Amino acid sequence: MTGVRVLVGTRKGAFILTSDGKRKTWDVTGPHFAGWEIYHMKGSAADPDRIYASQSSGWFGQIIQRSSDGGKTWEQPGSAPGDAQKSPEGFQKGESNKFVYDVSAKTGKPLTTHMWYDGTQHPWEFKRVWHLEPSLTDRDICFAGVEDAALFKTKDGGKTWNELAGLRGHGTGPKWQPGAGGMCLHTIILDPKNEKRIYVAISAAGAFRSDDGGKSWKPINKGLTSNFMPDPTAEIGHCVHHVAMHPSRPDVLFMQKHWDVMRSDNAGDNWREISGSLPSDFGFVIDVHAHEPETLYVVPIKSDSEHYPPDGKLRVYRSRDGGQEWEALTKGLPQKDCFVNVLRDAMAVDRLDKCGVYFGTTGGQVYCSPDGGDNWTAIVRDLPAVQSVEVQTLS
């Protein structure tokens, strides 16, 4: 393995940071899509040069971008600038950003409302793509988690998207409610050992699992407790912030919830709390070491009303025993007057022999630890607020 490519989505564009295996010196390109919000970018495991990006704007809506050369050049799938709207074969172009909920009786469900903040029912309205999860085996297949919460899939490299309507229509949808950041499907995890198994997480509905490739779904929230809910242990309504899995043990899941860090050893059927000695069990990110399935990372945040680290100290916490004991990692991170946040998709690990850990902040810093968290340096310090960080390990 020779190097890494870090894909950084920010409030004002995308940046790509590349380095060799030492991860000491970095090349920075960007901003790509300058001025647009980049909620997420992720590369294909099947073809690392294939990268998908979610580009959006409160003014101009959703755009899907795709690169086939590792981020050097980009295109909107199926509709290069200046192309005619229809191909000579009559294929409709300009649909790579068309996310339409499936309400057909045959393939979808005639479900048109979810719960609003005041408890009334509210129509489902597409707003943006929060997360893109490329297939592990086919570069043209990719899943998209969107707001208002739903799961979409493309089989043609992003030219067209279709909803996997069994999730939104499985029965609990009318009870889903937006979190403070909107009602978003933000986490998609594909099981590397079982292509039929998919996990997703939604704020504020909870976690869900499909065992048939996305046709049918069930909530997997037993053991979660959310004291802000009328029924704190209800099947639905938990504000899950992020879920992580080690590919060697796909039945073991780790969750950073609104409050509480949780663990499941049976594919989400039951959860137990592992917050232990953390200074705060509120936070957004959680990730797993590339080579040590019991080594976890979180970044504690003070509270749901104060989205910054406790005591103004930016500390990553690491557990080497699956969440029983936690240690603060501080070397190279600011230990005073630091009041940034680390958003849910803004942490990632590489797969080099010495696992690198990366996270981005709302203050525009992207930190890298090339030694599993022991030492940290800022790759960049002054980007726009970071929304997401993903890492590709290049050979």
The site for other proteins (CB under 8 A) is made up of: 33-36, 57-63, 76, 79-85, 93-95, 97-100, 126
CA distance 87 to 107: 27
Give start and end residues of each alpha helix (H) in 83-227.
Answer: 165-168
For 312, the 3-state DSSP assignment is: helix
Rounded least distance, CB 30 to other proteins, Å: 14
**For the CA atoms of the chain, what is the radius of gyration?**
20
Cα separation of 311 and 334, whole Å? 11
Nearest-angstrom CA–CA distance, 236 and 176:
7
Q: Which is nearer to other proteins, 80 or 105 (CB)?
A: 80
Give CA–CA dist 245/22, Å, rounded.
Answer: 26
For other proteins, the closer CB: 168 or 318: 168
Go through 4-22 and write b for each residue having 16 or more CB atoms within 10 A of its CB, e for each that does not: bbbbbbbbbbbbbbbbebe
Residue (64 or 278) nearer to other proteins, CB? 64
Shortest approach of other proteins to residue 193 CB, angstroms? 37
Which residue number, 58 or 119, has a Cβ lying nearer to other proteins?
58
Residue with Cβ nearer other proteins (17 or 64): 64
What is the closest distance, in whole angstroms, from the C-beta atom of residue 100 to other proteins in the complex? Answer: 6
Alpha-carbon distance of 352 to 390, in angstroms, equals 14
* Residue placing its CB nearer to other proteins in the complex, 13 or 364: 13
- In the complex, what is the shortest distance from the CB of residue 53 to other proteins, in angstroms, rounded to a whole number? 13
CA distance 6 to 349: 10
Give 182 or 332: the residue with its C-beta nearer to other proteins: 182
CB of 159 to other proteins, least distance (A): 11
Supply 102's token pair.
């499936």
Q: Give me the half-sphere count of Cα atoms (radius 13 Å) on the Cβ side of residue 291.
A: 9
What pairs with residue 219 in β-bridges? 208
Residues in CB range of 216: below 8 A, 6 or more apart: 166, 170, 210
Least spacing, CB of residue 93 vs other proteins, in Å: 4
Residue among 57 and 104 whose Cβ is closer to other proteins = 57
| Residues contacting 80, CB < 8 A, separation 6+ | none
| Residue placing its CB nearer to other proteins in the complex, 98 or 175 | 98
| Min separation Cβ 343 and other proteins, Å | 20
SS3 174: helix
CA 77 – CA 68 distance, rounded (Å): 11
